[in-house]
Chain A
Amino acid sequence: MKISGAKIIVETLIEQGCDTVFGYPGGQAINIFDELYLNSGRINHILTAHEQGASHAADGYARATGKVGVCIATSGPGATNLVTGIATAYLDSVPLVAITGNVPTALIGRDSFQEVDIVGITMPITKHNFIVKDIRELADTLRTAFKIAKSGRPGPVLVDIPKDVQTAVWDFEPKKDPVRPFPLSFASESKLRQAAEMIKNAKRPYIYFGGGIISGKASAELLQLAEKIDAPIGCSLMGLSAIPNDHPRFLGMNGMHGHYASSVAQDEADLVIALGARFSDRATGDKNRFNKNFSIIHIDIDSAELDKNITSNLAIQGDIKDSLFRLIPMLSIVERPEWDARIEELRTEEKHRLESAAASAFEKKCGNCTKPCSMMGVPAENRLSPYKIIDIISEKADEHDIIVTDVGQHQMWTAQRYPFKHPRTFLTSGGLGTMGYGLGAAIGAASAEGKRSILFTGDGSFGMNLNELATAVSQNTPVVIVIMNNGVLGMVRQWQTLFFDKRYSNTTLDRQTDFVKLAEAFGAKAARAFTAEELENAAAEAFAHNGPFLIDCAVDCNEFVLPMLPPGGSIEDIITEIK
């Protein structure tokens, strides 16, 4: 069957099991969009407000489902607008295929209208990328793109397709099935035996996992391992939602804003078993002091992560599910009453710290502000604390709802507090820390499986890509948007409080944005909440509504994310209180 390149693109996407794509048309992508129009019954295209929104939506779709997310943009600015989204996916190992149109091959290199070298631009932020200059290679290149995106450690792949390749005509035979990933790599038996030996000799083992447990579907094996060797579990930001937060062995996220008990337990351990994690600087702090008290077994699918940031005592490359499946039978059941008791002690200590922090929160006075503030007139005891907001929302939410965040204080509060139950229900930009990630991702996630998504965001982050409210309205996406509105760029402000003698350079937002009116102007529903009662009512309305609903919650700008390990610090430097 001879068909156009544009049709080959759409047919290959369908062949690869792609049901929804996100994008924005333009001159050099018009043929692709024509085919999407002609095939709208077979593949759904969601038009976003901006290409960045499309890339985040494809990312949200991928994280929520585990499938490859696809976004499509035109050449030049369309392509460059995808860049932040592609980098976000790259840093968090999200399978993505980004398709860009480009000027006809004859015009490449001549600074033609809307021409950029997007392959050159995205080389360091993709697993691989292609420019297809020959129609005969188009279908197979797209198939390879899907294959690379979902193999091993997943990641984004970009395929740049000049216009003349889209209009050329060539044979196309659809394949029966989507491409399979490259064969898994399996851990060596002898290394697993060494790991078993190290675990056997450990007195205080601690399991630390990252996003690899989610993409490697190894939650069950992880819990089995913990049971068998009687170890507590902590995780990185990217690991959250892999196991239920209320699991008795789970101490929560550790690292810069991690749980006190989780971070301290790791430091007091004599063996850290790191699974599908990469020891980011936000997780480790000072790398020289990080592991002075414990040995490390590091298992990861990506050999380049082994000994990259932290030199482990035993580095094992292999599929995480298979590694654990084979490791567990090598171990015998042990009990560690002393270690358990110490963990309990740490939990109690953490609880007390939280309670005293919550109590002192009511005494906080708005600090240096002289301007009118939304918090004024709200009695201190009625104010919404970030945790209170999260508690109220999580009580109303279904456990399968997908929680999405932007980046900043609200992100860390959500990571610390939200009671996740199921893998792939927490979507956040962990590696790149992309403010403005959330709304696009929430739309992508919700449109993937018809589930509701809940976006926790801040007034700073939300301001970055709020144009996607238009998309949420046109798609009638069931998304509850909860803005923790404190009138400041809170996370940077927190650093300024701690490390810059409270010189709040450019973190006080002198804005008069009325988010309720704004949402309504876009055609969404909205409400404002200053108190718990108001939030209860707004949330009830929001969850009853089938479509986008924004809740603007007033939060004290002197709320801090605690505990905090200062950047480049270590566990001894932990800050649990800010005066």
Chain B
Amino acid sequence: MKTRSKILFASTIGSAMTLGVAAAIANDAADTPSITPKTMADALHMVMDSDRAVYTRRIVNRLAAKEKVITASEHFEDEKALVLPAQMFRFGAEMVTERAAENPDVNFSYSLQSLWPINSQNAPKTDAEKEGLQFVVDNKGENYYTTEELGGQNYFTAIYADTAVSPVCASCHNDHVDSPRTDFKIGDVMGGVVIRIPIES
């Protein structure tokens, strides 16, 4: 009996310690850096790209192209229409910027840019943007990664090709009064998603 209670005591202590250690490891794991900025950028892009694909397919393709019950328009408020997939993407980016400002631990930004933008404010500005956007056009299927300094802060910057996934992507851009390029076709790289993650120097 005596031995048994000793074993019970020891195993109780042992279990308690194991649990404590496990909890400590879990806490440590949450705070230990284990993914690279590149992995994080790739993961973010995968989420953005998938969400946008779902919106394009399940909402716009289905309701506007297939069922024809509503249209999608740049002036969605005035036209009582769906927002264009690229606009949905931009609005998400703006909301992220707003929310990230209040949560510096989760500080990243992203934008949709092009060498042939309809709104000239979405043309590349930094050297990294200019080089990266050209790179993803010239090397279809590849991404561009670099680092840069903006306003005194260092960033890991990743650029992913943004491609015309539907004939209307190409035709809308080709027909838009402010589009500097008018010969896009489906499957063409039209621009790029630029993701920035602040890094220490």
Same assembly? no
Interface residues of B (CB under 8 A from A): none
Interface residues of A (CB under 8 A from B): none
